[in-house]
């Protein structure tokens, strides 16, 4: 199972720059979780306890505004990831992620992810540009919706 997870992670943008050894390090800390249609993978405001890599299915990312409006930020499918911001900074979830169909994810718990990055800081340096790019894209989407 570890090798299959490492192979899948290597095809995900967030981890694509990592070497095989670091992919295996991360894969050892992963679990797999299944969700039914309409399940919350994460809820806005909850503690960020994990990073989710979608292996099958589809999710939508939505944010509830202060006045109660729901804004759809993005949809993601197989090979994409969600939950990276909270895992890195320890802050509460800034958006909810809801499944649009039965979905399976590789889950990397925050404490495991951070432990691997502390032991092997080159992993953080390799994924940081991808996280920053995602942040910029999300920011642009939110600015466009608010206009």
Model confidence over 14-60: pLDDT tens digits?
999 999 999 999 999 999 999 999 999 999 999 888 899 999 999 99
Tens digit of each residue's pLDDT (9 = 90 or more) over 90-134? 788 989 999 999 999 999 998 998 899 899 999 988 888 887 787
Distance CA 145, CA 64 (A): 13
Of 56, 143, 63, the residue nearest 96 (C-alpha): 63
Structure tokens that stand for 45 in this block:
């405001």
> Shortest CA distance to 112 belongs to which of 24, 22, 50?
50
User: CATH number of the domain at 2-133, please?
Assistant: 2.60.120.10
Domain coordinates in residue numbering, the chain: 2-133
């Amino acid at each position: 199972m570890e090798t299959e997870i490492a192979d899948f992670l290597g095809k995900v943008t967030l981890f694509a720059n990592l070497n095989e050894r670091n992919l295996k390090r991360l894969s050892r800390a992963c679990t797999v979780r299944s969700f039914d249609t309409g399940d919350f993978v994460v809820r806005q405001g909850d503690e960020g306890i994990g990073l989710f890599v979608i292996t099958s299915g589809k999710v939508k990312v939505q944010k509830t505004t202060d006045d109660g409006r729901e804004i759809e930020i993005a949809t993601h499918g197989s090979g994409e990831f969600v939950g990276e911001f909270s895992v890195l900074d320890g802050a509460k979830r800034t958006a909810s992620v809801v499944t649009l169909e039965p979905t399976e994810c590789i889950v990397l718990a925050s404490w495991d992810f951070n432990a691997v990055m502390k032991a092997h800081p080159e992993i953080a340096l390799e994924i940081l540009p991808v996280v920053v790019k995602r942040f910029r894209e999300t920011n642009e989407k939110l600015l466009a919706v608010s206009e």
